[in-house]
Amino acid sequence: MVYEINANIDDMNSEIYSYIYEQILKMGALDVYTQSIYMKKNRPAVKLSVICEEEKLDEIVEFILKETTTLGIRYSKFSRKTLDRKMVKIKTKYGNISIKFAYYKSKILKYSPEYEECKVIAENFNIPLKVVYEDITCTVNKYLESFNKK
Amino acid sequence: MVYEINANIDDMNSEIYSYIYEQILKMGALDVYTQSIYMKKNRPAVKLSVICEEEKLDEIVEFILKETTTLGIRYSKFSRKTLDRKMVKIKTKYGNISIKFAYYKSKILKYSPEYEECKVIAENFNIPLKVVYEDITCTVNKYLESFNKK
Amino acid sequence: MVYEINANIDDMNSEIYSYIYEQILKMGALDVYTQSIYMKKNRPAVKLSVICEEEKLDEIVEFILKETTTLGIRYSKFSRKTLDRKMVKIKTKYGNISIKFAYYKSKILKYSPEYEECKVIAENFNIPLKVVYEDITCTVNKYLESFNKK
Amino acid sequence: MVYEINANIDDMNSEIYSYIYEQILKMGALDVYTQSIYMKKNRPAVKLSVICEEEKLDEIVEFILKETTTLGIRYSKFSRKTLDRKMVKIKTKYGNISIKFAYYKSKILKYSPEYEECKVIAENFNIPLKVVYEDITCTVNKYLESFNKK
Amino acid sequence: MVYEINANIDDMNSEIYSYIYEQILKMGALDVYTQSIYMKKNRPAVKLSVICEEEKLDEIVEFILKETTTLGIRYSKFSRKTLDRKMVKIKTKYGNISIKFAYYKSKILKYSPEYEECKVIAENFNIPLKVVYEDITCTVNKYLESFNKK
Amino acid sequence: MVYEINANIDDMNSEIYSYIYEQILKMGALDVYTQSIYMKKNRPAVKLSVICEEEKLDEIVEFILKETTTLGIRYSKFSRKTLDRKMVKIKTKYGNISIKFAYYKSKILKYSPEYEECKVIAENFNIPLKVVYEDITCTVNKYLESFNKK
């Protein structure tokens, strides 16, 4: 079980959002995101949503009440189903890269290379970031195929 | 009672969405829709929402975990209140057309012609689709008035 | 030829928007609308767009610079094609109502009842606003059919 | 505890929304807002959300079913945490203005001047609305500082 | 040079959009897309945008005026820079698949398998559509590597 | 005169966006932002917009073609009107802070404290970031009032 916390925010300097994302993730939230909403009298606003576990609920609610301009937040329990994840180092032509593998019923279902490592490679090798992703993804694809054949 | 299932998806080829809409509706979901959201580090993403009954929950959750790039979904129970609906054939100047009537406490509250039938008419008669809608809507409006007078 | 003026606004109290809509329309703008955008560092923002004729350009640009938090606006010329419009009073079961007719090459293409008059009817007769719209639309539809037969 | 009511609306004349906002707030809802969503077959739609207390639930649900084109609504309970609020008149260079103060654990956390009063000032004094907000905000800021020193 | 045509649409049955997308693409438009916007008086609306070449301009403008509820459209010239594209059949473990290659200064920059062919494979082989994409993408990746070595 | 560059992107890993924002701003673009759009076949997509001067146009266009999945970009000239800006250090209770002043016809119209400096203060003093903004804004407000009296 997790909690989803929602707050409608309609008169806040938008520079503050990146600070709020960072702080809430540091507190241990599972996810943070925003959506554009429209309130009465043509007011464009932002709905801030946070997914967190029960033990973080009070701290995050208090943070949102203090740091944002919202006058009230609401929250509710949700069931949650996630894939198991494991970080593995895989050898690629750019060196060893961390790959996040996601499992469902102990079968690998998805994998993705770490963003920050790929970004460094793109800058060092001066190649497009999306090419780095593609190359690494295909290396992992080959690795899994040979693995499954055994 | 129905379930609302939510999944945040941030790195999926967007061509896959129309396939996912179709498959989930085929499985018997009551509604499927997407919203644009923004995640940490300026990541534009999509929140996929599905409304379904309890007996479909497991199958749809498993489908989303397997077919999309999401690493976790969440869901919660909602109460639901719907209008009763009945499909009726009504005679119009374009032939007999299926009209969906919606009732509240056994009074007709809303009605709308079937999209696919109207589309065929617009193409065959070479008239704007919105004119077809208007004409049929007004035929139904007259039909209901005469009906209510009796 | 008309101008489209665009301004990105990212740190304004959103209560101010309805005031800005009103004032800009009073100055004679042809259209005003907003879109949700996202800027660097996860900043949700609003893009304000105004369509106006050349003689209003300077006044509206100055107004936006003074009244909003934007630091710069941009604008460009657009060609424009509009339908001719005429306001006509039509007799309905709710009394005489103003209908806006839109013409293309002197043929009636679209029509819509005046929002403010329909709203008063909905409140006085205590019926849903959308029913008022439907009834009046169908009255106009019949009126046009008899007109076209002559 | 409050209720969040959600309805997906995909074929309604958008002039009706401002009427719906007004009426639902008049009925005593705590908040009303809309979000842009996308349904199957490329249909842009609107998700209407209302936050209200239990005793208003039935009336608002019935209103939405009758006044909008939706065929079904869903709702669920949410916990809620709000700041205490108090309206106070403060003397400013534009005269006495109503300020909404928001408290958390009996400490003033936020304050904002009343929109409608500021709007009148902006029009009467012919100064930008955002300047009126800034001036009044700073007057309140000074007032609180002197208050805290005592 | 291409034209961008824009129309604000605020009171149209949303079922009509998929028809409009289809018809405009059939007429030869280069691209069609929609954005959610907000107009005065809290009206959620949709901005329809079409990119097309000059010889299609008049036909598409007339179509939008006739088929949608808009009362006016606007358009403007844009410069355009596209990648060269070539469709090539590549042998994969699912059979021969059409791949779209995109070139910049005669170097392959991007490639993507045809959506409709991948969808058929996903349904026939009963595997997730995203897995089909990944497998084919990696086959092309290998193909290009061997090609570049020669 | 400035250029607005637009690219529709519909199948890119969204982790790449923050990299693209950074790189394009480093190249000297005046502004970068994204909007959520919807393309044919229910594809959620992102429209990337860049505002830049003519001398940066070619470099940025080439960067977008290489680094994103877009197959074509379009651009057009816009007139631009900006406020003059000056950075000034102002003494506040948190120390000397950089304030950006914006002028119109040599009158100060707007001012805002530097985000990064305020963020450091919020973290060091352990007070909400929005309180830091308010305090500094009011100090500047007082400073300007005394300045105008002379």
Taking an 8 Å cut-off on Cβ atoms, the answer to whether C10 and A14 are in contact is yes
Our CA-based measurement puts residue C138 at a distance from the nearest CA of chain B, in whole angstroms, of: 5
Which chain A residues have a beta carbon less than 8 Å from that of C36?
A: 36, 44
Per-residue confidence (pLDDT) for residue B143, from 0 to 100? 85
C137-142: long-range contacts at Cβ-Cβ below 8 A with a sequence spacing of 24 or more? C137/B134, C137/B137, C137/B138, C137/C111, C137/C112, C137/C113, C138/B137, C138/B138, C138/B141, C138/B142, C139/C90, C139/C91, C139/C92, C139/C93, C140/C90, C140/C99, C140/C111, C140/C113, C141/B134, C141/B135, C141/B138, C142/B138
Instruction: Supply the pLDDT for residue F75.
Output: 98
Map tokens 């929140």 to a residue.
B47
> Tokens for B84?
């009763």
Interchain contact, F13 vs A128, CB within 8 Å: no
Among B18, B21, B45, beta carbon nearest to F14: B45
Using the predicted structure, report yes or no on whether residue F12 has a pLDDT greater than 90: no
In 3D space, the residue among F108, C14, F122, A38 whose CA is nearest the CA of residue D112 turns out to be: C14
Q: What pLDDT does residue A119 have?
A: 94
Alpha-carbon span E3 to E26, nearest angstrom: 17
- Cβ contact (<8 Å) for C44 and A46? yes
Q: How far A91 CA lies from chain B's nearest CA (Å)?
A: 23
- E2 close to E82: Cβ distance less than 8 angstroms: no
Whether the Cβ atoms of residue B42 and residue C40 lie closer than 8 Å to each other: yes
What is the DSSP code (8-state) at residue F74?
E
Query: Which residues of chain C does F81 touch, with a Cβ-Cβ cutoff of 8 Å?
Result: 61, 65, 72-75
8 Å CB contact between D81 and F79: no
Distance CA A116, CA A132 (A): 12
pLDDT at C3 over 70: yes
Q: Which residues touch E96 (CB under 8 Å, ≥6 apart)?
A: E89, E90
Contacts of A98 in chain F (CB under 8 A): none
Helix (H/G/I), strand (E/B), else coil: D86: strand
- Residue F55: other Cβ atoms inside 10 A: 8
Q: In the structure encoding, which two tokens stand for residue C96, read together?
A: 């005489």
E145 within 8 A of A138, measured Cβ to Cβ: no
Q: How big is the A-E interface in CB pairs under 8 Å?
A: 25
pLDDT value of position E147: 65
Domains, chain A = 2-78 (3.30.70.1380), 84-149 (3.10.20.300)
Mean residue pLDDT of chain B comes to 93
DSSP string, E75-144: EEEEEEEE-EEEEEEEEETTEEEEEEEEEETTEEEEEEE-HHHHHHHHHHHT--HHHHHHHHHHHHHHHH
Using the predicted structure, report yes or no on whether residue F150 has a pLDDT greater than 60.
no
Pairing between strand B95-104 and B84-92?
A: antiparallel
Q: Coil, strand or helix: which one is F60?
A: helix
Q: What is the pLDDT of residues E66-122, one digit of tens each?
A: 999 999 999 999 999 999 999 999 999 999 999 999 998 888 889 999 999 999 999
Query: D118-139 pLDDT, tens per residue?
Result: 999 999 999 999 899 989 999 9
Cβ–Cβ below 8 Å for F36 and B44: yes
Question: Higher-confidence residue: F99 or C104?
Answer: F99
Higher-pLDDT residue of A12 and F82 is F82
Question: What confidence tens digit (pLDDT) does each residue in D48-64 have?
Answer: 999 999 999 999 999 99
Instruction: Write down the ipTM of this complex.
Output: 0.91
C-alpha to C-alpha distances, B4 to C105, D70, E34, nearest whole angstrom? 49, 17, 26
pLDDT digits (tens, 9 = 90+) for E31-65: 999 999 999 988 999 999 999 999 999 999 999 99
Does residue B147 register a pLDDT over 70? no
Average pLDDT of the residues of chain A: 93
For residue A66, name the pLDDT band (cuts at 50, 70, 90). Answer: very high
Asked whether the beta carbons of D70 and B112 are under 8 A apart, the reply is no
CB contact under 8 A, C74 and F77: no
Residue contact B142–C141, C-beta within 8 A: no
Chains in contact with B, where contact means 3 or more Cβ–Cβ distances below 8 Å, are A, C, D, E, F
Of E38, E42, E141, the CB nearest to A134: E141
Which residue, among A33, A38, A87, would best test binding to B if mutated, counting the most B CBs under 10 Å from its CB?
A: A33
Q: Which residues of C touch F87 (CB under 8 A)?
A: none
Provide the pLDDT for residue D15. 86
| Beta carbons within 10 angstroms of residue A3's beta carbon | 21
Start-to-end CA distance of chain E, whole Å, equals 38
- CA nearest E19: which of C111, F45, B128, B92? B128
Contacts of F13 in chain B (CB under 8 A): 11
Q: What percent of chain E has pLDDT over 90?
A: 79
Q: Which chains touch C (3 or more CB pairs under 8 A)?
A: A, B, D, E, F
Q: Is E69 within 8 Å of E55 (Cβ atoms)?
A: no
Mean pLDDT of B78-94: 95
pLDDT digits over E109-122, tens only? 899 999 999 999 99
